[in-house]
Amino acid sequence: MNSHDKAKAIKAVIMDVDGVLTDGGIGYGCGSEDEIKFFHVRDGLGVKLLNRNGIATAILSGRASKANRRRAEELGIPIIIENCRNKREGLLQICTQLGITPEECMYIGDDLIDLAPLRLAGIGVAVGDAIEEAKLCADWIMEHNGGKGAIREAATRLLKEKGLWDTIVQEYLNR
């Protein structure tokens, strides 16, 4: 199946957080819950565009963080699985929740823990600064790095492949 046909089948985008939605940096404050992460605003719009166009979104993270949950809430990401050490099983769990198959998912990752879901998903996406092994497992490799617009780049490409992008742009031109 070619890239265009694979994209047409995608019903959900599942994302890692650290190194994908963020640049991988983690800052600590003085309190036990004072973890600081930085998210890119264009990635946020990419997630919202997916949601508005009928593509479900989910987070699958190896770490738990209040910042992860807050960002998911702000973006309207309804499914968030944290502390997931077996991301293959996590992806399958999300598929079950959504009533879809792994072939109907796009997974975006960057590191060793993401290798299995990158291969299992219908479209595996590696961010620009992902490790080489992740890039080798991926169908698409983004030019943008994690936390620097890679999610937006992947969302835009998917929406273009599904034939939805021109309508989205037209909506913004008419505002």
Within 10 angstroms of residue 56's Cβ, the number of other Cβ atoms is: 21
141 is a domain residue = yes
Give the CATH number, domain containing residue 93.
3.40.50.1000
Domain that includes residue 9, residue range:
3-168
173 is a domain residue = no
49 is a domain residue = yes
Tell me the per-residue pLDDT of 19-52, one tens digit each, with 9 for 90 and over. Answer: 999 988 877 766 666 678 889 999 999 999 999 9
175 is a domain residue = no
Torsion of CA 24, 63, 14, 93, to 10 degrees: 160
Task: From 155, 156, 158, 124, select the one nearest 141 (Cα to Cα).
Answer: 124
Distance CA(154)–CA(173), nearest Å, equals 22
Tell me the per-residue pLDDT of 140-165, one tens digit each, with 9 for 90 and over. Answer: 999 999 999 999 999 999 999 999 99
Tell me the per-residue pLDDT of 84-97, one tens digit each, with 9 for 90 and over. Answer: 999 999 999 999 99
- Report how many domains make up the chain: 1
Tell me the per-residue pLDDT of 59-83, one tens digit each, with 9 for 90 and over. Answer: 999 999 999 999 999 999 999 999 9
174 is a domain residue = no
